[in-house]
A and B are shown apart, each in its own frame.
Chain A
């Protein structure tokens, strides 16, 4: 396939209308269209601006703590007895996950656009915490929308956000989870569009969000690629990352897309099993549609209504996925697979006990699949897994699932 070997093919996505093949675009109410146009033109200008890039890079180095290490999980790899597994340690970032790479970037955009107020949606609370953190640092007013059910389940992160000075707004509409929090954030933005910057936490939403969130997260893959070449003298054979909205996965994958020898696996939340219907795996079992400003694979019923999702991990519990992933699935560049709740929980325990690293339940989905994949490969082969966040936030969830009172 000639077009596949064209190195510009991936770099040029999305097109001027924000489309990745048939996916993406701008499906929002008219009130927001000029705000999106302003954001896009500001972003296109600043992304070419050396001073802005230097400011972003300095924040990543000195505030986030980048570059994050590439750690070889030797004991775990030996136990599996297959490929050598390397972990990209996004869990060591300030605030404990990859989310902060993006919030640092978008908050700088907000500052340059003169917006004194930022809003965000959050599921497990990691993006909310990352947004509240950067808002505190820049002195911005911050409102975080969170499903009422998630407010109950993630009370520790709610308190963290409040300590950071953010207002946490519980959302009771719909299913009271992440998708409803995103609806409510959109409603707030429509109402306060003049003074408010909406910091979307993943590579979804209307153009230009999937593009700019990807660009801010690509630091993960650029570092990992350089670290592999420096340490091993060659590229890895496979990349594995979990996919909810898909920001950590696109951040790892994108800088490798033109490296045809590198296989890629995006791991969705299989919940109780994709065959049960109780999951959050739109790429594995959904169909294309329009939600939250973009066309992408969705979990929907036969009438185009969005259906409830299930995952042990609040951060993956979302019925859509970033539009670039939908396109990468259709063209076959990335393989999308699923790991179930129980597999993720087992991987959570395994990595904690064997490597002394407690992964977030989201990242544990990637680990669960990587373990299966590694077993089919040889010790001469290398896998890089994105360890997108740390598991401290999930301790109470894991304990409750196992009937332990902490």
Chain B
């Protein structure tokens, strides 16, 4: 069983929901990422989503765009992100790590080479924002060969018929994008999220996690009532960038990350009454 499947099985047995923080690798400091990941885990993260910086992050709002730009300026690339995960694995063998990014760096490395190198480093899954199921055949066969999961997005605009297609290619969990827009935009509509998550469950047995629009403990708790996990991205990336901007050192950045993820953990566990 994959680390992601094990994680959701354990959470389900405990009656808990997954907390999934997103950070951009190499942001806000070039060499902070391994320590930051460890702080996130200590603060209650169940899965870590690590953004792979790209020159043209078309689905990101301004907050995460700037995170990508900062990381690229520091020389962070797909191959260095993979090395970062390998370094994290020396300290942590159990927390799943998901790489989130865009098709081209993976294409350029080559699907098979990426799968080999990422798997060897201890990467558990890949989410490529711009590779829908229609385009995923080659990539998925490489990922399956090494036992990595491919996480797919389902959007508010996804018709029911497409959900079956996505479910047939997805593994690990399904990532429901709670709003039409880029990362960090707008406010999520709780009623529509509940409706869509229950629709997705009629098409797939995979856990369903929700992201885009979760800003704090209360918005995470609202989503955790209906989903198997919550993703917190832009709010965290912004918080860390602010601390760095104000001159905060690595410890201050790690503390800020732990504080926000800790708050989310508490609210999410409050929903399920098991903390």
Q: Which A residues contact B (CB, under 8 angstroms)? A: 17, 25-35, 173-174, 179-180, 183, 186-187, 190-194, 287-293, 295, 298, 300, 302-307
Contact = CB atoms under 8 A, between A and B. Distances in A.
A191 B180 contact: yes
Contacts of A17: 134
B135 A25 contact: yes
Contacts of A179: 56
Contacts of B57: 183
Given A26-B134, A179-B56, A186-B58, A303 B78 contact: yes
B162 A31 contact: no
Given A183-B58, A187-B59, A303 B105 contact: yes
Given A25-B135, A304-B104, A174 B130 contact: no
Contacts of A32: 157
Given A33-B132, A290-B104, 20 more contacts: A17-B134, A27-B132, A30-B152, A30-B154, A30-B166, A30-B177, A31-B157, A31-B181, A33-B134, A173-B65, A183-B56, A183-B57, A186-B58, A187-B181, A288-B107, A289-B108, A290-B102, A292-B58, A303-B77, A306-B104
A-B CB proximity, top 5 nearest? A304-B108, A304-B105, A31-B155, A303-B77, A191-B181
A29 B135 contact: no
Contacts of A305: 54-55, 72, 77, 104-105
Most buried by B among A27, A34, A180, A291: A27
A140 B135 CA distance: 34
Given A27-B135, A31-B157, A290 B107 contact: yes
Contacts of B103: 27, 290
Q: Contact size class for B?
A: 35 or more
A245 B72 CA distance: 26
Interface string B59-92: 1011001000100100001110000000000000
B55 A174 contact: yes
Interface in B123-154: 129-132, 134-135, 152-154
21 contacts: A25-B134, A26-B132, A27-B130, A29-B58, A29-B153, A29-B155, A30-B166, A31-B180, A31-B181, A33-B132, A34-B162, A35-B157, A173-B65, A173-B69, A190-B180, A190-B182, A191-B181, A191-B185, A290-B102, A291-B56, A305-B54
A17 B134 CA distance: 8
Contacts, number: 122
B104 A298 contact: yes
A55 to B, nearest CB: 29
Contacts of B79: 303
Contacts of B105: 303-305
Contact of A28 (B61, B108, B130): B130
A98 B46 CA distance: 54
B107 A304 contact: yes
A183 B61 CA distance: 11
Contacts of A307: 55
A237 B86 CA distance: 59
B159 interface: yes
Contacts of B158: 30, 33-34
Interface in B150-186: 152-159, 162, 166, 177, 180-182, 185
A191 B132 contact: no
